[in-house]
Amino acid sequence: MSGTPIVVCGHCATPGKGLHRCGRCLKVWYCGPACQRAAYASHKGACHEAAQIRTFATKRVRDAVRGARVRACHRCSASVRSTGAKPRRCSRCNDVRYCSRTCQKADYRSHKTECTPGPATPDTLRPNEVGLGTELDAMEIVSSTGDLGATALAAARVSAAYISVGQYADADGYADMALTMAHLAGDRAGEAIAWNNMCMAAIGLRQLDRALHCATEGYAIADTLGDSHRLGIACCTLAGVHRRLDQVAKAETFARKGLAIATATGDRPLELRACICLATALAATDMDTEGLELYRRALDISRALGDTGAEIEIYANVAHIMRGLGEHDCAIAALQRAVNVAHGMGSHGILHTLYGSVADQYHAMGRYTDAIQWHRRALVVAGELGDARAIAVISADLCTSQCAQWAPRDCADCWEEKWRRAGRT
């Protein structure tokens, strides 16, 4: 249905369209000023409480967003504080900054390939960031009711929202809260969801042994419940963890089981996930042809479902296969598409990984100047996110590219700095 929804006046209960909404809590409608004044005495308590919760949630999500947005020069990495000048912002994507017009002009050729129309104002939240704010708001309201099951589900949704913006430590905390609440409420399905979210957060934090434990617990619960959808998700999650642990045979087994469940039940989102898991496992065994066919199938499903996160993952994985086949230009094209989708999605938590992949590809092609430029971009994003491990790894890779550009053999000083930053001395 289209048009303005029918709501009911909070004082006289008269239904109608176009009623005036309370400007503080944004939850109650009135016929007009007279009804709003008459209801104020009884409404003000709940109104102020709801407004405080909404303000608190909005502040928390904006703090999370601030930590994930790049504030340094997109070309030379100079910060605003170091230059003392007001930064210039790309007027199209509203996402990257430059310390001067010179840097902006010099970076145009490279940036135009990843520049997508952004929000109208720099402080406007992107869809996944709005989703995080909505889930935080909902959890504050639900938790006040004392319903453990509903609170567990709300905490799991907040955890998933934090994963979508790349804030894995917060995601892990809320997943642990969801698991505790679900256990107290006796909600086994809620426990399975919490274990899955905790696994995703552990993967983001690079705690693979812990991720395997979480995935195994979730699989056991889903198998006990007999829920084919949850069992399929658990199979895909286990396949992903086993692949990251280089246990390719187990990864392929669980991925094929998940795909069989999705095909039998007609579950398209699960089919998408299973196709990606199986294609990735097959790529690790050099079965590139079947893997590429599965990625094409997954890409069609992701576009039909509007799943941009899956689209990013598919492009990145296809680029890896193309690099192994020696198709370097195709690999660069796939990675740049992934970067464009990530920018449009506002998923800054994975941008430094994508930037690093582009840099590695340029390095493999012998285009060291481009590799250095992309490594510096990755370093800026990792610095803004405060990811110390990523900073060390990217710094080491940047030194390697600089050595390759400056001299035919590695610079001893640069190598010493590289190992020092990586924490290996």
Rg of the Cα trace of the chain?
24
CB distance 163 to 237 below 8 Å: no
Q: What is the pLDDT of residues 32-68, one digit of tens each?
A: 888 888 888 777 766 765 555 445 445 555 555 444 4
Residue 53 confidence (pLDDT): 46
* Residue range(s) occupied by CATH 1.25.40.10 in the chain: 311-425
The residue with tokens 């658990």 is 234
pLDDT in tens, 125-175: 556 666 777 788 788 888 888 888 899 999 999 999 888 777 788 889 999
Return the half-sphere exposure (C-beta side, CA atoms, 13 A cut-off) of residue 265: 19
Count Cβ atoms below 10 Å from residue 5 Cβ, excluding itself: 7
Cα distances from 302 to residues 118, 132, 236, 269, 314, in angstroms, run 22, 22, 16, 8, 9
**String of b and e for 350-382 (b: at least 16 CB within 10 Å)?**
bbbbbbbbbbbbbbeeebbebbbbbbbbbbbbb
Name which of 276, 261, 353, 352 is nearest 307 in CA terms. Answer: 276
- Tell me the CB-side half-sphere exposure of residue 2, using CA atoms within 13 A: 0
10-residue mean pLDDT profile of the chain (425 residues): values are: 56 72 74 83 67 51 49 65 65 74 81 61 56 79 84 91 81 91 90 93 88 93 89 91 89 92 90 88 74 86 85 84 82 86 71 85 86 85 70 80 64 50 45
Query: 3-state secondary structure string, 89-156?
Result: ECCCCCCCEECCHHHHHHCHHHHCCCCCCCCCCCCCCCHHHHHHHHHHHHHHHHHCCCCHHHHHHHHH
| 215 within 8 A of 239, measured Cβ to Cβ | no
pLDDT of residue 111: 76
Candidates 1.25.40.10, 3.30.390.50, 3.30.70.1890, 2.60.120.260; CATH matching 311-425: 1.25.40.10
- Whether pTM > 0.95 for this model: the answer is no
**Inter-helix orientation angle 127-143/40-66, to 10°:** 130
What pLDDT shows up at residue 388?
A: 67
